[in-house]
Structure 1
Amino acid sequence: MSHTRENPRVVVIGAGIVGCSLADELTARGWTDVTVLEQGPLPAPGGSTSHAPGLVFRTSPSKTLAEFAKYTVEKFSSLQVDGVPCFDPVGGLELATTPERLAELHRRAGYAASWGIRGEIVGPARCKELWPLIDESIVLGGFHTPDDGLARALLAARAQMERAITRGARFLDRHTVTGIERQDGRVTGVVTDRGTFPADHVVSAAGFWGPVIGRMAGVDVPLQPLAHQYARTRPLPELSGASAEATRPILRFQDRDLYFREHADRIGIGSYAHRPLPVDPFAVLPYDEARARDMDMPSSYPFTEEDWAPSWEDCRALMPALRASEIEEGFNGVFSFTPDGMPVLGEARELRGFWLAEAVWVTHSAGVAKAVAEWMVNGRPSLDLHECDHTRFEEAQRSPSYVRERGSQQFVEVYDVIHPLQPMEQPRPLRVSPFYARQQQLGAYFLEGGGWERPHWYEANASLVDALGPLPERDAWSARHWSPIAAAEARATREKVALYDMTPLRRLEVTGPGALDFLDRMTTNNLRKKPGAVTYTLLLDDSGGIRSDLTVARLAPDRFQVGANSPADLDWLTRHAPDDVQIRDITSGTCCIGVWGPAARALVQPLTREDFSHEGFGYFRAKQAHLGHVPVTAMRLSYVGELGWELYTSADLGLRLWDTLWEAGQELGVIAAGRSAFNSLRLEKGYRAWGTDMTDEHSPYEAGLGFAVRLDKEFTGRGALSPDITRRLTPLLLDDPAAVVLSKEPVYVDGAPAGYVTSASYGYTLGRCVAYAWLPAGLATGTGVHIEYFGEKVPATVAEEPLFDPKMTRIRR
Structure 2
Amino acid sequence: MTHPPVPRVVIIGAGIVGCSLADELTERGWTNVTVVEQGPLFATGGSSSHAPGLVFRTNAAKTLTEFADYTVRKFGGLNLAGQPCFQQVGGLELATTPARWDDLQRKHGLATSWRIRSELLTPQECVRLWPTIDRERILGGFHTPEDGLAKALRACEAQARRAIARGAIFLAHHKVLDIEQRGGRVSSVVTDCGALPADIVVCAAGLWGPKIGRMLGVDVPLLPMAHQYAKTTQLAELAGRNDEFHDARRPILRHQDADLYFREHVDRLGIGSYAHRPMPVDLAELPSSAEARGMPSMLEFTDADFEPSWQHAVELLPALRDSKVEEGFNGIMSFTTDGMPLLGESRQVPGFWLAEAVWVTHSAGVARALAEWMIDGRSTTDLHECDVHRFEQVQLGDDYVHERAAQSFVEVYDILHPLQPAEHPRPLRTSPFYPRQQELGAFFLEAGGWERPHWYEANAPLAEGLALPQRGAWASRYWSPIAAAEAGATRERVALYDMTPLKRLEISGPGALEFLQRMTTNQMDRKPGAVSYALLLDEAGGVRSDLTVARLAHDHFQVGVNGNLDLDWLLRHAPTDGSVLVRDITAGTCCVGVWGPRARDLVQPLTREDFSHQGLGYFKARRATIAGVPVTAMRVSYVGELGWELYADADGGLRLWDALWEAGQDLGVAAAGRSAFNSLRLEKGYRAWGTDMTAEHNPYEAGVGFAVRLDKGDFVGRRALAELADQPPRRRLVPLLFDHPEHVVLGKEPVHLADSAIGYVTSAAYGYTIGRSIAYAWLPAPAAAPGTRVEVEYFAEKLPATVAAEPLFDPEMARIRR
TM-score relative to the length of structure 1: 0.98
- Find the residue that maps to 2:507 and give its secondary structure: strand
State the one-letter code of the partner of 1:156: A
From 448, 451, 461, the counterpart of 1:450: 448
CA distance in 2 between partners of 1:28 and 1:184 (Å): 30
Residue by residue, what CA displacement relative to the aligned partner does 1:482-524 show, whole Å, maximum 9, x if unpaired? Answer: 0000000000100000000000001000000010011011111
Contact persistence 1:212–1:282 (CA under 8 A)? no
Contact persistence 1:209–1:282 (CA under 8 A)? no
State the one-letter code of the partner of 1:275: R
CA distance in 2 between partners of 1:164 and 1:45 (Å): 18
- 1:750 deviates by 1.5
Match of 1:804 in 2: 809
Match of 1:282 in 2: 284
Residue by residue, what CA displacement relative to the aligned partner does 1:623-658 show, whole Å, maximum 9, x if unpaired? Answer: 000001100000000000000000000111111110
Residue by residue, what CA displacement relative to the aligned partner does 1:255-306 show, whole Å, maximum 9, x if unpaired? Answer: 0000000001100000000000001233321224321xxxx30100000001
CA distance in 2 between partners of 1:627 and 1:316 (Å): 68
Match of 1:749 in 2: 753
Match of 1:47 in 2: 46
Match of 2:263 in 1: 261
Match of 2:79 in 1: 80
2:785 matches 1:786: no
Match of 1:207 in 2: 206
2:486 matches 1:484: no
- Find the residue that maps to 2:569 and give its secondary structure: helix
Equivalent positions of 1:227-238 (< 5 A) are: 227-238=226-237
TM-score relative to the length of structure 2: 0.98
Match of 1:716 in 2: 716
Match of 2:154 in 1: 155
CA distance in 2 between partners of 1:274 and 1:5 (Å): 52
From 249, 252, 256, the counterpart of 2:251: 249
Residue by residue, what CA displacement relative to the aligned partner does 1:756-781 show, whole Å, maximum 9, x if unpaired? Answer: 00000110111111110000112321
Equivalent positions of 1:336-375 (< 5 A) are: 336-375=334-373
- Find the residue that maps to 2:535 and give its secondary structure: strand
Match of 1:733 in 2: 737
Contact persistence 2:519–2:715 (CA under 8 A)? yes
From 534, 538, 555, the counterpart of 1:537: 534
- 1:452 deviates by 0.3
From 549, 552, 558, the counterpart of 1:552: 549
Residue by residue, what CA displacement relative to the aligned partner does 1:78-110 show, whole Å, maximum 9, x if unpaired? Answer: 100011100000000000000000000000000
Match of 1:697 in 2: 696
CA distance in 2 between partners of 1:485 and 1:288 (Å): 60
Match of 1:773 in 2: 777
2:405 matches 1:434: no
From 376, 390, 393, the counterpart of 2:391: 393
CA distance in 1 between partners of 2:107 and 2:586 (Å): 37
- 1:185 deviates by 2.5
CA distance in 1 between partners of 2:453 and 2:242 (Å): 58
Contact persistence 2:242–2:249 (CA under 8 A)? no
CA distance in 1 between partners of 2:337 and 2:476 (Å): 26
State the one-letter code of the partner of 1:129: R
- Find the residue that maps to 2:671 and give its secondary structure: strand
Equivalent positions of 1:434-583 (< 5 A) are: 434-468=432-466, 470-578=467-575, 579=577, 580-583=579-582
- 1:466 deviates by 1.4
State the one-letter code of the partner of 2:261: Y
- 1:182 deviates by 1.0
CA distance in 2 between partners of 1:220 and 1:738 (Å): 46
CA distance in 1 between partners of 2:184 and 2:424 (Å): 36
Contact persistence 2:34–2:171 (CA under 8 A)? yes
- Find the residue that maps to 2:632 and give its secondary structure: strand
Match of 1:119 in 2: 118
- 1:183 deviates by 2.4
CA distance in 1 between partners of 2:600 and 2:482 (Å): 25
Contact persistence 2:472–2:742 (CA under 8 A)? no
Residue by residue, what CA displacement relative to the aligned partner does 1:38-95 show, whole Å, maximum 9, x if unpaired? Answer: 0001111100000000000000000000000000000001100011100000000000
2:595 matches 1:596: yes
- Find the residue that maps to 2:655 and give its secondary structure: helix
CA distance in 2 between partners of 1:160 and 1:566 (Å): 36
- Find the residue that maps to 1:695 and give its secondary structure: coil
CA distance in 2 between partners of 1:364 and 1:546 (Å): 24
Contact persistence 2:741–2:766 (CA under 8 A)? no
Equivalent positions of 1:418-429 (< 5 A) are: 418-429=416-427
- Find the residue that maps to 1:701 and give its secondary structure: helix
Contact persistence 1:551–1:564 (CA under 8 A)? yes
Stretches of structure 1 that go unaligned for 5 or more consecutive residues are: none
CA distance in 2 between partners of 1:218 and 1:373 (Å): 24
- Find the residue that maps to 1:217 and give its secondary structure: coil
CA distance in 1 between partners of 2:241 and 2:756 (Å): 40
- Find the residue that maps to 1:165 and give its secondary structure: helix
Equivalent positions of 1:617-766 (< 5 A) are: 617-713=616-712, 714-721=714-721, 722-723=724-725, 724=727, 725-766=729-770
Equivalent positions of 1:611-622 (< 5 A) are: 611-622=610-621
CA distance in 1 between partners of 2:388 and 2:184 (Å): 18
State the one-letter code of the partner of 1:695: T
Pick which of 504-513 and 183-192 moved more: 183-192
- 1:5 deviates by 4.4
Match of 1:313 in 2: 311
- 1:404 deviates by 0.6
Match of 1:333 in 2: 331
CA distance in 2 between partners of 1:282 and 1:706 (Å): 52
CA distance in 2 between partners of 1:467 and 1:520 (Å): 51
- Find the residue that maps to 1:697 and give its secondary structure: coil
Contact persistence 1:187–1:351 (CA under 8 A)? yes
- Find the residue that maps to 2:59 and give its secondary structure: coil
- Find the residue that maps to 1:35 and give its secondary structure: strand
CA distance in 2 between partners of 1:520 and 1:175 (Å): 48
Residue by residue, what CA displacement relative to the aligned partner does 1:368-398 show, whole Å, maximum 9, x if unpaired? Answer: 0000000001111111000000000110100
Match of 1:66 in 2: 65
- Find the residue that maps to 1:446 and give its secondary structure: strand
Residue by residue, what CA displacement relative to the aligned partner does 1:409-437 show, whole Å, maximum 9, x if unpaired? Answer: 00000000000000011000000000000
State the one-letter code of the partner of 1:257: D
CA distance in 2 between partners of 1:456 and 1:312 (Å): 42
